[in-house]
Structures are given as structure tokens and as C-alpha cells.
Amino acid sequence: MRFDIISAVPELLVSPLSHSIMQRAQNSGLITVNIIDLRSFGIGKHNQIDDYQFGGGAGMVMMPEPLDRCISELKSERSYDEIIFMCPDGKRFEQKLANKLSLKNNLLIICGHYKGIDERIREEHVTMEISIGDYVLSGGEIAAAVVIDSVSRLIPGVLNNESSALLDSFQDNLLAPPVYTRPADYKGRLVPEILLSGHEAKIDEWRYEQSLKRTLERRPDILDDIS
């Protein structure tokens, strides 16, 4: 799977995508991450990519010409399943959307910066707009890294145990159950006996019950989505 990311500050994306699972996925060829510096498409000797907004107001706006040139060049090289703009007013990013995007081959992600991007780019090129929450970040880079990490771990082979992603919180509209590891007795706190029993069916039943209990306590809102 390929991720092309357009950024005004590409350095912000290097660390989140260059370690641990993301690094191994790239080294093994399961995903490709290509970060494009928007300033290489900037205007004039200073490679300008932003300007004041019409109508006045605080904050600079990313200009249409550099973005249009960048996106058009990338689209001439390959077709994209989605061209995504990370923005506060986009569709809320949830596990179901991550599952859907993990089935794609090529994604282009635009990271906004400053006050945002010229609306005409959204109208001309963007096919999907995503928000990772009801708050505002300085730019879309961190949000893009969140999406890429969430989507990539669903691709077969990225995780050592492929069933692990299927047992994550939100996959079945429930939070994950409590988990334990060695030692079985830590400062007098014991691992539930059922987990030491080796009885797979009963363990699965316990985990489901714990997931349901935790969801009712912490996120009862997501139970509304259970069909």
C-alpha cells in the first residue's frame, strides 16, 4: 500500500513514521510512505506557498497554485483511490473508516497548515476529508501520521500476529478487555484464574463480558452502533 503525503513541514512526519511497526512495514515492502515537500512547488525565489486571505482576518492560507501543481503532478504518475485532506471539519476518523481505507492501494494525503488550504483545491481535487477529533492542531501532519499508523496495522503482515488487529478496541464496537502478563502475582494483585485455565472457550467468554462491561462503563455511546 502506498501513502503519498503533501506537507509544508515534512520534518514533522519523519519520526512518527520511521520507527517500530511503521519502519518494519516499510522495510518489508508492505507499505510505501512518500513525503512531498510542498515548498518544492512554491512560487518565486522564496518558494512561497501561503498568502493572506481575501476578506481580511488573522492567519495565512495555503495558496492554490503550489498545491494544484503538486497534486496534478502526482496524479499524472498514478491514480489514487482517495485524495484525503486532513481538516477539523472533516469526517470523524473511526475504526470503520480505517478498515475501509486499509483495502485501498494508493492514498494521497494533504496536510493543511496555517489557516488551511484554498477552498478551490478542496473542490477540485479532494475526495475525502478527515478529522481525528474535535480540536485544532497546528497542522495536518500529526493527524496524517495517526491515520497512516491506524490503517497500516490492518494490512496483512504488518503485525506479527495478524489476529491482533481484529481484537483491538472498536473493531466490534466494544472496548478491548483487560490484559495481563507475567508475573501472575504482582504485589498481591492476581491475574484472573480463568486466564490461567487454558480453556479457550471460557476465556473468550470472559473477555467478551469484560469488553462489554468496560464499554458500558467508559463508552456507552459506541454501543448504539451495534446492529
Span 208-220, pLDDT tens digits = 999 999 999 999 9
Q: How many structural domains are present in the chain?
A: 2
Using the 3D structure, point to which of 120, 152, 184 is the last residue of a domain: 152
Using the 3D structure, point to which of 152, 184, 199 is the last residue of a domain: 152
Using the 3D structure, point to which of 118, 152, 186 is the last residue of a domain: 152
Q: Give residues with Cβ within 8 angstroms of 131, minimum separation 6.
A: 86, 87, 88, 89, 90, 91, 92, 93, 143
Q: State the average pLDDT over residues 127-136.
A: 96
What letter represents residue 15's amino acid? Answer: S
Q: What is the pLDDT of residue 160?
A: 79
Angle (CA) 136-53-131 rounded to 5° is 25
Same domain, 135 and 61: yes
Angle (CA) 43-44-45 rounded to 5° is 130
The strand ranges marked E within 150-209 are 185-186, 189-190
Q: State the average pLDDT over residues 13-38.
A: 96
Q: State how far the alpha carbon of 158 is from the alpha carbons of 96, 112, 151, 155, 175, in Å.
A: 18, 28, 10, 6, 22
Tens digit of pLDDT for each residue in 88-98?
999 999 999 99
| Mean pLDDT score of the chain | 93
Does the residue 83 lie in any domain? yes
Q: State the average pLDDT over residues 199-203.
A: 97
Q: What is the pLDDT of residue 167?
A: 58
Nearest to 30 by CA among 3, 11, 12: 3
Which SS3 state, helix, strand or coil, does residue 111 take?
Answer: strand
Tens digit of pLDDT for each residue in 47-80?
999 999 999 999 999 999 999 999 999 999 999 9
Same domain, 137 and 67: yes
What is the spatial distance between Cα 211 and Cα 170, in angstroms, rounded to a whole number?
10
